[in-house]
Amino acid sequence: MERVYRLVISCPDCVGIVARVSGFISDCGGWLTEASYHADREAGWFFMRTEIRADSLSMSLEAFRERFARDVANHYGMHWFVHDSAERPRLVLMASKASHCLADLLYRWSVGELECDIACVIANHPDHESLVQHYGLPYHCVSFGQGREEAFAEINALLERYAADVVVLARFMQVIPPAMCQQWAGRMINIHHSFLPSFAGAQPYHQAHARGVKLIGATCHYVTEDLDAGPIIEQDVARVNHRHDSDDLVRLGRDVEKAVLARGLIAHLEDRVIIHGNKTVILD
């Protein structure tokens, strides 16, 4: 893939932001390959994402950052960053007994669909060791029989050891401690097997079946201290009817979960997601 620098911005909305940013990039010799933006009229906030050909800039990336901060960002009160697409995030996958989301992400990574390096897989059951070893990756089984506090201390040590940038809960069926949620804010992604905010918590398919819904869904979201209530990245649904029992809903839901988690993760890895409060803007 062509190496690009991704400039991502959010700031109070006003006249002239697009012209100022685009003009600055042009003055630096930057060749734009993609640009998108959104103005939230209710919030009075502006969001922008641009991709710049890395070989087109007339200066180093560090010099570009310094000049952008001085000449543009400071004048508009911007929250911003520039990411070099050549710097691949280090990803850690976490799972429990269900394997469908884990297997799907491992396959997508193996064929080059995910712009990241998977550092390891952490699970609280030994079931997936052979699957993970097939892809040549380290597998760590952390037992929660030792106690939740001890187990999460072990997980934190592994995340530090592998220098993780992003954590994906690929059906990791444990509630993340508040301190860990805060530490990984905006960098820990979960897949919940319902169309949130409906049916949060445990056994959502069984909740949905008991309610007699005609649509089931899945939600990819960032993890926060509020269970299954973090900023939503991606969602999708599948139609069901009265002939489907709870097991059918689980079976049909697996495909939705895999697709939703993959799309959400790809959007995050491509720097297309901007968190604003408890909502997200996806600049595709």
| Stretch 234-257: mean pLDDT | 90
Kindly report whether the global pTM for this prediction surpasses the value 0.75. yes
Residue 70: count of CB within 10 angstroms of its CB: 10
Residue 92 and residue 168 in contact, taking contact as beta carbons nearer than 8 Å: yes
Which fold does the domain 90-282 belong to in CATH?
A: Rossmann fold (3.40.50)
Tokens standing for 68? 């952008």
- Which amino acid belongs to residue 90? R
**In Å, what is the CA distance from 181 to each residue of 136, 167, 185, 225?**
29, 11, 6, 6
| Stretch 136-151: mean pLDDT | 96
Q: Which of 226, 228, 271, 284 is catalytic?
A: 228
What pLDDT, on a 0 to 100 scale, did the predictor assign at position 35?
97
For the chain, the three-class secondary structure string (H helix, E strand, C coil) is CCCEEEEEEEEECCCCHHHHHHHHHHHCCCCEEEEEEEEECCCCEEEEEEEEEHHHCCCCHHHHHHHHHHHHHHHHCCEEEEEECCCCCEEEEEECCCCHHHHHHHHHHHCCCCCCEEEEEEECCCCCHHHHHHCCCCEEECCHHHCHHHHHHHHHHHHHHCCCCEEEECCCCCCCCHHHHHHCCCCEEEEECCCCCCCCCCCHHHHHHHHCCCEEEEEEEECCCCCCCCCEEEEEEEECCCCCCHHHHHHHHHHHHHHHHHHHHHHHHCCCEEEECCEEEECC
| Domains 4-84 and 90-282 alike in fold | no
Ramachandran angles phi, psi of 84, nearest 5°: -85, 120
What pLDDT, on a 0 to 100 scale, did the predictor assign at position 202?
78
Give the burial class of 9: count Cβ atoms within 10 A of its Cβ; 0-12 exposed, 13-18 middle, 19 or more buried: buried
Q: Residue 270: which pLDDT band, with cuts at 50, 70 and 90?
A: very high
Tokens standing for 42? 């209710």
Q: Is the pLDDT of residue 26 over 90?
A: yes
Q: Is the pLDDT of residue 34 over 90?
A: yes
* % the chain with pLDDT above 90: 84
**CATH for the stretch 4-84:** 3.30.70.260
What pLDDT, on a 0 to 100 scale, did the predictor assign at position 204?
84
| Stretch 9-24: mean pLDDT | 97
**pLDDT tens string 188-219:** 999 998 887 777 777 888 888 888 888 888 99
Domain ranges of the chain: 4-84, 90-282
236 is catalytic: no
> If you search the block for the tokens 């697996």, which residue do you land on?
254
What pLDDT, on a 0 to 100 scale, did the predictor assign at position 114?
97
* 155: Cα within 13 Å, side-chain hemisphere: 27
Closest CA to 169 of 184, 195, 188: 188
